[in-house]
Structure 1
Amino acid sequence: MSRPSSLTPEEARRLLRAARANGADDADPAFAEALALARRDPELARWLAEERRVDLHVTGRLAETFPTAAPDPDAKAALLARMRSAEPRPVAIPVPLLRRPRAYALLALAAVAIAAAALLPLLRPSYASYEGELAEQIACGEVTQLAHESPDVATLEHWLAANHAPSPIVLPGSLQAVPSLGCRTFNWKGRQVGQVCFTLENGKIVHLFVIRDAGWRPATAPPQGQGHSQFNRHGDWTLASWRDGATTYVLAGEGDLETVKKLL
């Protein structure tokens, strides 16, 4: 029957921490008593096994660091102290793409660009709206309130140019021989519109409206070329419209489609 140990488990731990992992100190009476207590105490035995596992690992590390010389005895204690007291380093966790401010900004800009590309054509003026307003002016007689009168078209063109308004570059065929009555200019959604009026032999008036660089919404723009004019009836008036490059022409005549077609 073994005699009771004079050491407490805590005292045994302190002794065994100082023992060399290779067993060189096991024969020392104090260390031997601590080892005997560890064999009887399961908890102390588990602790000692873990302690020696760590000691062997540290010894191996020291041997790698000092391959040609015996390590300093104090180096073991210092290394153990650093290992035990070292605070865990923060782990850099990758931030998901959608949580990064820069990624958010780039995605937002891309979304704005896509939305702008889709909405830009819709923000352009509609030719139908322009023609509708012209029809209203014709119906209320506003188009007859001329700013400058002359039977000479060239004189009217000079006046329009002096007032920064577009004027017809080439008159439709039949109008070239028709005397002019007068002209005026007005603003439509920030764009200057030039208007020239002509008097037909039957006494009726024909209006030619010219607007440049209107930037129509593509689906609403009049066709290119006078020969491809489109015609719309508004009350007693028929309006023919076409484009010549960036310039839009609208010819308004009182009467049916055939009457206006003869003027082109």
Structure 2
Amino acid sequence: MDKEEARFILRCFRPDGSDAAEPEFAEALQFAAADRDLGDWLAKERAQDAEFSSMLGRLPLPEGLREEILAGLAAERGDLPQADEIDAVLIGGLAMISPPRGLRDEIVEAMGRSVPNTNPSGSTNRSSSWWRFGVPLAAAAGIALAFMVQSEPPAENSGPLVSISDAATSDSTGSAVPVSFVEDQAIATLESPDFALDLKNPDQKALFKFIRGKGRACPSGGVPRKLEAEPSIGCRVIEVNGKPGAIVCLRRGEGEVVHLVVFRRDDVLGDLPSSGHPLINKHGQWAVAHWEKGNRAFMLLGRTDTEHLEELF
């Protein structure tokens, strides 16, 4: 073992010293004890690790941060890689899972008190340490791949991207879908990491023409008053239990994005108020407005408070 190999191994040395019994770490530690420069480096590394661990444990994470990041990236870029039907169901389902409170702290604590893997004879399993060496490298590779994917937006979709609402709940029964279920599936689609836009265009009329061409109910004439002159981002056609619909992503002001969902009225089950008096409620981090106009059922979703959403009508 040379100095650089010892340094590489010691980068993975856990602060509690539980790796000291493993042969690779024991040899590297002996090398550090005999080499002054390597020993000084190891002391500084362990001090920095301890400080970082302490700071990480004190860092408060805002509730809903994960969902806000995913929704913001999906709405602004619409350039995530395409997924096949099975991938979309899995990814969409995972996006709907809310991790229990305190899970992060439990993971950090478990990492701190984990022990070396030993075989029945009592000797340390050498492969376990090399597995840990690979974890940081694999994580770094995953992060690099994520940046590569984000930097290469795909061409606009020629058809609707399958989402959790498309693949997991689609049927051909012909019965209307409860408005609450449409709301759940619209939010799940927007929060899914594989969400992408079928067409990007700042002109609302261009999006409405595209939606009509896909055989969906057109949002034209149903856009809330204060959004009529605002630029659009793009649109996406969707299905919920076999019922065709569409989502139009609209921009209002700096950084604010709202999503207009439209279905045929006969396909949505439930009482809906007229467009001048929408029903507005909260759904987790989302404010949601429901109304009907003509033969269409509308829904407006935004990550804001209900009062702000009401101002748009």
TM superposition score normalised by structure 1? 0.49
Q: Which has the larger radius of gyration?
A: 1
Considering Cα pairs closer than 8 Å and 6+ residues apart, tell me whether 1 or 2 has the greater RCO.
2
